A = this chain, B = another copy of it.
């Protein structure tokens, strides 16, 4: 996705060979017009899949997720990262280890909103080690629903997640695929910039 590649080139900060900071438009400050374009792109790529729900994880998945859901005409559900007082019964849960934060979170979603028969599009901001996406897949399976696809804003293709998640057999669409962050440079995967 050209607009996203351009934004990453202009504003992304390469902090190390593995860490790309995109706090100016995705993870802290958010560019609503870019989020809308990202939502439209996800909708275009998955519209034929008969999506009934979009599922993401708080917090950075919410902005791209709500725009994708708006375009697809479905609700968005954001999985919670810990149990809250007003959401104690009827929860599906999965454990997600974050390599960045070096902690394990329990992600949860209410059985009231994710149901058997749902065709679910999973959305997340990053695909790196794949743990978050695998946790979301687990929640959908527990609900007896169907994973209709996985939409990722930025994939770090040099990490394990892409391989792990694609091995599940589900279709993964990443709007930006980064081959390397070596030498302080963002190198996109060749042929990835399709629109």
Contact = CB atoms under 8 A, between A and B. Distances in A.
How many copies the complex holds: the figure is 2
Interface string A38-77: 0000000000000000000011001100110110001111
Contacts of A23: 86-87, 110, 112-113
Interface of A: 15, 19, 21, 23-25, 27-33, 35-36, 58-59, 62-63, 66-67, 69-70, 74-78, 80, 84-87, 100-101, 109-110, 112-113
Which residue of A29, A69, A87, A101 has the most chain B CB atoms within 10 A of its CB atom?
A: A29
Contact of A78 (B35, B59, B85): B59
A80 B32 contact: no
B77 A29 contact: yes
Given A36-B70, A58-B58, A63-B66, A113 B29 contact: yes
Contact of A30 (B35, B76, B112): B76
